[in-house]
Amino acid sequence: MRRPRVAVRAGFWSRLAVVGLLALAVRVGYVLTVERGDELPGDGFYYHQAALLLADGEGFVDPARFVFGGAQETVFFGEERATPSAATALPAGHREPTAGHPPAWTVLLAAVSLAGLRSVLAHQLTAALVGSLGVIMVGVLGRELRRGWSHEAHEDERVGIVAAALASVYACLWLSDGMVMSESLVVAVVALTGYCAVRFARGPSRATAVAMGAAGALAALTRAEFLVYLPLLALTLICTRRAVWRSLLGPLLGAGLVLGVLLSPWMIRNSLAFDQLVLVSNGSGTVLVQANCDATYHGEKLGYWELYCGLPQPLGPQGEPLDEAQRDAVLRHRGLDYIDGHRVRLVAVVIPARIGRMWAVYDPVQQLRFDVLVVGRNFRLSLLGLAQYYGLVPCAIAGAVVLRRRAQALAPMVLWPVTTTITAITAFGETRYRIASDVVIVVLAACAVDALIEHARRRSAPPRRRQRAPSRPDSPGGAT
């Protein structure tokens, strides 16, 4: 007889809380012993300072321009590369609207800053806490994924706990916490969006559509490239369920409407702050120009990015400074012009290198060294994460096979690696940009571990004895 679901849930949540505490201990220990006191890298500096400015009532202001003024070019590019101009003459404290990154992580850190926790260490510990909550959400996703073929409630619990336990110690999921990167929040939002997508794929309804649209909006407001996930999922569900595709249109349109409504405040703010249409962020031009230049099409940085490819900084027709959206538009044209002149090499050489860097099959140790120089990751811990990654990927592939054979909702999981690969193709390969797929790798690996445990239990279970028919009272010895 199946055990009551209520009792199982209580056990699941208590054990998941223990795993969450383990995850918090790992992350806090890492922050206090490895990253404490280190200078924040580029994006980490941006998020930390932007959060402080937002908490101080300045709004979403470019933190580099505010802190350094025009001297930011000297700080980031070096005095020998900075070209004197009206932009370099801007004073410190210059207020310039920014949409360089989506707002979710900045808003969260600003809320912490409003509470008086304004130091780098406070923001690092906030990232550790958020990353631990992400581990709990990974466990919830694992349990939901297993429910599709469970016969006993404790089987759901097993997959969820294994997934959370793996996530708690997988270095690729916590190395960004000490650098105040948005990846700390990415773990939670990817698991949440995946959870909602799995529920929608199993039973499309208004409720699951609203939840999926809201989760997708939060994901896009955390990382701009996640905006493609829900459209990819919608297209996949329609193509793979041709017999019932018309019944999917209503819920999918509802999810899209929720997504648009929740993104609209940020988009409206951007339209008021800039003269150009800015959907989620202003970073596409910077990415294009820094990823498409001689330094990234040849040599040791093949498939990667180069900061100096963005020079000289764009100026207006009269040499006047441009706002962030205008600069990004100029840089976008530069990048597209370079692509137009190097199409063959882009397709034949550069894109494979980008994908190889993202998935740690092209010179992975060199990539880890770039991570040390550019984003400040600890090299030894990065090697640990690489070793864990190589161990988990085969298990994740096996877990995907398990889901496929049991006719479960595989698309919500597989489309995160697809999104990661699209990011590599259109931008460049970098370890931390793989983190959404690292969440999926952990969950699928847990499914493989669960299938292995189930197989071992079946093999070790004693064979059932065939029951004999009951003997009739008037037949001595049971003869018929």
* Tokens describing residue 36: 């404490």
Long-range contacts of 110-118 (CB under 8 A, 24+ apart): 110/50, 110/51, 110/52, 110/54, 110/55, 111/55, 112/51, 113/51, 113/52, 113/54, 113/55, 114/55, 118/52, 118/55
The mean pLDDT value for 67-94 works out to: 73
Question: Does the N-terminal peptide bond of residue 321 adopt cis geometry, omega within 30 degrees of 0?
Answer: no
- Measure the CA–CA gap between 278 and 271, rounded to whole angstroms: 7
How much is the pLDDT for 473? 46
The string of pLDDT tens digits covering residues 374-393 is 888 999 999 999 999 999 99
Q: Is residue 101 a contact partner of residue 46, using CB atoms and an 8 Å limit?
A: yes
The mean pLDDT value for 426-432 works out to: 94
The mean pLDDT value for 254-279 works out to: 92
Task: Kindly tell me the sign of the dihedral angle through the C-alpha atoms of 454, 456, 461, 463.
Answer: positive
- Measure the CA–CA gap between 182 and 184, rounded to whole angstroms: 5
61 forms beta bridges with: 97
For 448, residues 6+ apart whose C-beta sits below 8 A from its C-beta are 395, 396, 398, 399, 402
- Residue at token pair 């030894």: 380
Q: DSSP class of residue 302?
A: T
Q: How many CB atoms lie within 10 A of CB 16?
A: 24
Of residues 146 and 267, more confidently modeled? 267
The mean pLDDT value for 93-120 works out to: 94
Evaluate if residue 231 carries a pLDDT over 90: yes
How much is the pLDDT for 65? 87
How much is the pLDDT for 151? 57
Q: DSSP class of residue 147?
A: T
Closest CA to 335 of 434, 426, 422: 426
Evaluate if residue 471 carries a pLDDT over 70: no
The mean pLDDT value for 187-201 works out to: 96
The confidence band for 475, taking pLDDT boundaries of 50, 70 and 90, is very low
Q: DSSP class of residue 178?
A: G
Please give the model's pTM, rounded to 2 decimal places. Answer: 0.90
Closest CA to 429 of 320, 346, 351: 351
How much is the pLDDT for 454? 85
The string of pLDDT tens digits covering residues 325-342 is 999 999 999 999 999 999
Evaluate if residue 360 carries a pLDDT over 90: yes
The mean pLDDT value for 17-25 works out to: 96
Q: Where are the alpha helices (DSSP H) in 342-405?
A: 343-345, 351-358, 364-375, 379-405
Of residues 297 and 78, more confidently modeled? 297
Q: Is residue 399 a contact partner of residue 446, using CB atoms and an 8 Å limit?
A: yes
- Residue at token pair 């294994």: 162
Evaluate if residue 477 carries a pLDDT over 60: no
The confidence band for 4, taking pLDDT boundaries of 50, 70 and 90, is very low
379-391 burial, b for 16+ CB within 10 Å, e for fewer? eebbebbbebbee
The string of pLDDT tens digits covering residues 109-165 is 999 999 999 999 999 999 999 999 999 999 999 999 888 666 565 666 889 999 999
Residue type, 176: S
Percentage of residues in the chain having pLDDT higher than 90? 66
How much is the pLDDT for 7? 44
Evaluate if residue 6 carries a pLDDT over 60: no
Evaluate if residue 23 carries a pLDDT over 60: yes
Q: How far is CA 277 from CA 173, 282, 330, 355, 374, in A?
A: 33, 10, 14, 30, 30
